[in-house]
Structure 1
C-alpha cells in the first residue's frame, strides 16, 4: 500500500509538507448516492493528486487538481460524472467527490502533493471508503455489543492473577480500538487483542486484561472506540471488582445488557478455543510433522521386513 511507502520516503528524505485525511468515510445507499473525501495540506502546493487503492490491485491515480486555477485533470477512463475535485475556501484543502456511488467504489483513497523544490511526492495516511448496501436499514444498530467475562476463582488461586475478557459482537465496519483502564485512573493498561473476525455481514473482536491478585479489588473498564456513524463517543464497559463480581451480574452498570448464562458459557468456550488455537499453532504443526514421520517410518519398516511387493521394486510378478 501507499502508506508504508510514504512512511519509508519520509524517513529517508525528511520533508516538511504534511497532508491530513479522515480515517474513514462510510456512506449508506441509497440515502447518499455520493461520497466526499477531504484532504488538507499545511502549506501552499501547486497540485493535489488523488489515488485509490483496492485490495488485490495496484494503486491508481484518479485525477489531480491545479490549486491556482481549480482545473481538474482526470486520468482515463475517469469521467466528470464519476469523480470530481474542488479546492477548499481556505486555499489549503481539497475535496474529492465520488459520484454515482456503488459498492465497487470501496477502497482506500489517498491525496498526495509534491514537496516544493524537491522531487518527493508526499502522501497522506488515506481515507477508507465503505459503502453500505441498500439491504441494511439506516436505523440498524451497528455499534459493538459487549459481553463480559470475569476472572474465575480457580485462576486466581492457581495463577495469583485474574483475567477480564471483553467480547464485542455485531459491529460494522471493522475499524475498532480497545483500551483498558482502572475505573478512576486515566493510565492505559497493557492488554491483549484478538483478531477482528467477520461473522456474516458484521464483525466480532475480543480483548482481555490480566491483572495481579492485588488489583482484583479495583473496578476496571474496557474503552471501545468504533468508527460508526451512530457512535459519537467512546463506549465504556465497566468490569466490577472480583468481590462485586460475585453478586448478580445483572446489577452492573453497563451500556448494554449482559447475555444469559447459557450464551455467556457458549461464547466463553469459543473465545477460549480461539485463544488456544492462536497460541498453540506451533504445537499442532509439530504434532502433524511427527505423525507424518511415523507414517513414513512404518512404511519403511514394512519394506525392510520382507514385503517388497508393497514397496514397488520395479519388477513384475
Structure 2
C-alpha cells in the first residue's frame, strides 16, 4: 500500500473489545522507517499528529520520557506500544479527563495527561514513562476514535523510543546534493538530483522534496538506510528525476531528524549549492531502483 506523503495518519480496522487481529502488514511510516501495524486503509482525515518521530534517551532510575501527539479537542485517544518482534498493544485509553489503564501496566511508571494548546482547537495528549529501561524501547502510537465500540481508529505515524548507553548520543545528518552528470543530462534529457544524508543517529528520518516557491511535494525515491558499525551512525540517499528544462530551477531536499536543533526539527539542502559530481553509474542505478550508497 502506498501512503499519501501529505497524510501520515492511518486508519486501522480492528475490534478493540477483543484482541488485535493477527493479520499484519508492513507499511512505510515516516518514509524511511517500517512499522508492523494491523491491517490499514488510507484516510483523508489528518487531524492527529505525533509530535516527535523519535526520542533518544539514556536509561536509568529517575529518568523520564514524554511522548506527545496532538488531536482535535474532544477526541478520545488511545495509546499503543509495539516492542521489537511483538504485536501492537493498547496500553492507555483517554476519554476526556478520564484515563483508563490496560491490564498489566505498571501504573507507577506510566501516566497520561491532556494539555490545551493556546489559540488552537487541538489539545496535546502526553504519555510519560518513568524510570526508563532498555525494555521500554519500541514504537509508541496514539490513535483517535469515538468510543471503545468504534470499528475504526485513526493512527498517527508514531514515535520511536530509543534507549541507549551513555556513549551513544543523537547526531544530526550531514547533508549535501550531488551535482548531476552533464554527460547523462545531455544523453537522457533528464536530471537526477541526489540528496546524500550521512552520519546520523538514530535511524529515524523524514525526507521530502519540493521546488522552491511551491509547497507541493515532489515524487522521490529513497535508498536503504545503511548502518556504519565503525561510527555507529546511519546514512541514506534520496533522489528526484526532473526534465533537463528544469536545470535552472532550485529544488529543496527537506529533512527532519531528532538531532536538528530548531522549533520544527527541519533542515534543508538546496540544488543552488551542489556538492561533488555524480557519475553515470548513479543514473543507471536510479533507473533500475538499485541506487548505490
Is 1:129 the equivalent of 2:163? no
Name the residue aligned to 1:239.
Answer: 271
Q: What residue number does 1:33 align with?
A: 63
CA distance in 1, matches of 2:266, 2:99: 41
> CA deviation digits over 1:217-261, x for unaligned, max 9?
x15333222122434254332334xxxxxxxxxxx5x7xxx57xx
User: TM-score if structure 2 supplies the norm length?
Assistant: 0.65
Q: C-alpha distance in 2, partners of 1:187/1:16?
A: 18
Aligned pair partner of 2:101 in 73, 82, 85: 73
Q: Which residue of 2 aligns with 1:88?
A: 115
What is aligned with 2:226? 197
Question: Is residue 5 from structure 1 mapped to residue 34 from structure 2 by the alignment?
Answer: no
CA displacement 1:91-125 (0-9 Å, x = unmatched): 96542111111233122223346525963352431
Q: Distance in 2 between matches of 1:145 and 1:23?
A: 20
Q: Over aligned residues, Cα RMSD in angstroms?
A: 4.3
Match of 2:200 among 155, 163, 171: 171
Q: Is the 8 A contact 1:17 1:122 kept in 2?
A: no
- Residue 53 of structure 1: aligned partner: 82
Cα deviation 1:165-207 (Å, max 9, x = unaligned): 22111123322213042x5666554443323333333222212
Map residues 1-317 of structure 1 onto 2, 5 A cutoff.
3=10, 5-6=12-13, 19-29=48-58, 33-44=63-74, 48-65=77-94, 67-68=96-97, 70=98, 72-76=100-104, 78-88=105-115, 94-112=125-143, 114-115=145-146, 119-120=150-151, 122-136=153-167, 142-173=171-202, 174-181=204-211, 183=212, 188-200=217-229, 201-216=232-247, 218-232=248-262, 234-240=266-272, 252=273, 275=286, 278-279=289-290
Larger radius of gyration: 1
Higher helix share: 1
Are the equivalent residues in 2 in contact too, given 1:17–1:42 (CA < 8 A)?
A: no
Q: Which runs of 5+ in 1 are unaligned?
A: 241-251, 281-317
Q: 1:59 to 1:207 in 2, by over 3 A?
A: closer
Length, aligned pairs only: 250
Structure 1 Cα separation of the partners of residues 89 and 290 of structure 2: 39
Distance in structure 2 (CA, Å) of the matches to 1:156 and 1:269: 10
How high is the TM-score relative to the length of structure 1? 0.60
CA drift at 1:15: 12
Instruction: Please tell me whether the aligned partners of residues 250 and 270 of structure 2 are also in contact (alpha carbons under 8 angstroms).
Output: yes
The answer to whether the Cα contact below 8 Å between 2:113 and 2:127 also exists between their aligned partners in 1 is yes
Cα deviation code 1:274-306 (max 9, x no counterpart): 6477459xxxxxxxxxxxxxxxxxxxxxxxxxx
Whole-angstrom CA distance in 1 between matches of 2:219 and 2:144: 38
